[in-house]
Amino acid sequence: MASLVFFAIYFFRDKYRDLLGFFFLGGSLIKFVLFFIFLYPGYNLDGVLERADSLAFFVPYLFSLFLETYFLVKLLNTV
């Protein structure tokens, strides 16, 4: 999902330059919604959300978030 958001931002970088931040925020919202629809019910089957379950989501999410933010800043700083 993070790569789809990144490529959408990259694809629309010239046409919608003023809206790239909103694409980024919207992509983050979509990622969280998809998590709560598809992954969270599986993590919460036993009623206890363990630390390993949280790390299984947040480590890749934070890694992709930092990469997306870094490349978005680089993209917006180019003239």
* pLDDT tens-place string over residues 36-55: 899 888 877 888 878 888 88
Number of domains in the chain: 1
Domain of 71 in residue numbering reads as 2-77
- Asked if residues 11 and 21 have their Cβ atoms less than 8 Å apart, the reply is no
Residue type, 21: G
- For residue 1, what are the contacts with CB-CB under 8 A and spacing of at least 6? 27, 30, 31, 34
pTM over 0.85: no
pLDDT of residue 63: 93
